[in-house]
Amino acid sequence: MKLVVANWKMNMDITSASDFVTKFNEFWFNDVEVVICPSMLHIPILHNYIRNSSVKIGAQDCSKFQDFGPKTGEVCAKMLIEFGVKYAILGHSERRNMGESDEDLILKTEAVLESGITPIICFGEQKDEYLSSSVEQIVSDKLGFLSKIKFKNKIIFAYEPIWSIGSGIIPDIHYIKSMINTAKDFINYDDSSFIYGGSVDINNAQSLLSISDGLLIGNASLNAERFYHIITEAQKNA
Ligand code: PGA
Mean pLDDT over 63-76 rounds to: 97
Whole-prediction pTM: 0.97
Active-site positions? 92, 160
Q: Report pLDDT for 109.
A: 96
Query: Do the bridges between strand 32-37 and strand 118-123 make them parallel or antiparallel, or are there none, so unpaired?
Result: unpaired
Q: Mean pLDDT over residues 66-88, rounded?
A: 97
Ligand 1, atom 1, residue with closest C-alpha: 218
CA of 220 to the centre of ligand 1 (A): 8
Mutate to test the pocket of ligand 1, among 160, 163, 227 (most ligand atoms within 8 A of CB): 160
Rounded CA separation 181/235 (Å): 23
Greater pLDDT, 52 or 209: 209
At 149 the pLDDT is 86
Distance 167 CA to ligand 1 centre (A): 9
Those residues with Cβ within 8 angstroms of residue 45's Cβ, 6 or more apart along the chain or in another chain: 14, 17, 18, 21, 38
Confidence of residue 140 (pLDDT cuts 50, 70, 90): very high
Percent of the chain scoring above 70 in pLDDT = 100
Helices (H), the chain: 14-24, 43-49, 77-82, 93-96, 102-115, 127-132, 135-143, 173-187, 202-210, 224-236
Is residue 35 within 8 A of residue 86, CB to CB? The reply is: yes
Mean pLDDT computed over every residue of the chain: 96
Kindly give the distance from the C-alpha atom of residue 71 to the centroid of ligand 1, in angstroms, as a whole number: 30
Which residue's CA lies nearest to atom 2 of ligand 1? 218
Alpha-carbon span 159 to 170, nearest angstrom: 12
